[in-house]
Amino acid sequence: MDYAIVPAILKDAEGIAAVLRASFPGDAAHYKVHSWGEEARQIMRTNKNWLCLVAMSEGEIIGLIACRHLKTKPLPTIRIEWLAVSPDARGMGVGKSLIEAVKQWSSESFGEQTVRLTLRARSERQDFYRKMGFRCYGKGWMKMRTD
């Protein structure tokens, strides 16, 4: 499957909501979200230090990553708030490519400075993140440093 990773734009909100809904089963309130549509619009708020990238294949959104820059000391932190891949596109490297795109963005944004990437992962997804270089540091929390 061919896909491209591009910055999300406002017209992508419906597709982002669909991928979130398919990736996180059950009621949105379980994830402390009012609705997936509202959450999709919220994560594209670039004026709040957020970055939202989507993986596009044949005009459809098949994955997304939404993260934000936290001004922490001594290292800047990029917190990945959402990483979601459509069930039909899993196992094809989309999630890995989205994380690599964020790492590339952080190196372009922060230069040689080491950056900490953090996220909260469901237990059944932690092996995926470990393969990417993350390690656990608390209940569900994982982190890695870019060098």
Strand partners, 5: 55
Residue 124 is classified by DSSP as G
Q: Say what the pLDDT of residue 49 is.
A: 82
Average pLDDT value over all residues in the chain: 90
Tell me the residue type at 51: L
Task: Domains for the chain: give ranges and CATH numbers.
Answer: 4-146 (3.40.630.30)
pLDDT band at 11 (very low <50, low <70, confident <90, very high): very high
Q: Which strand (E) or helix (H) includes residue 110? A: helix 94-110
- 65 three-state secondary structure: strand
What does the block give as tokens for 145?
């440093």
Q: What is the mean pLDDT of residues 14-43?
A: 88
Is the pLDDT at 46 greater than 80? The verdict is: no
Q: Please give the radius of gyration of the chain, using alpha carbons only, rounded to the nearest integer.
A: 15
Asked whether residue 17 carries a pLDDT value surpassing 90, the answer given is: yes
Query: Nearest to residue 141, comparing CAs of 48, 131, 72, 129?
Result: 129
102-125 pLDDT, tens digit each: 999 998 888 888 999 999 998 888
Residue with tokens 């398919």: 22
- The Cα–Cα gap between 64 and 93 comes to 12
Q: What per-residue confidence (pLDDT) applies to 31?
A: 82
Amino acid identity, residue 27?
A: D
* Side-by-side strand order, sheet with 50-57: 4-7, 50-57, 60-70, 77-85, 115-120, 141-146, 135-138
Measured between alpha carbons, how far is 93 from 76 in angstroms, rounded to an integer? 27
> Which pLDDT band, with edges at 50, 70 and 90, does 79 fall under?
very high
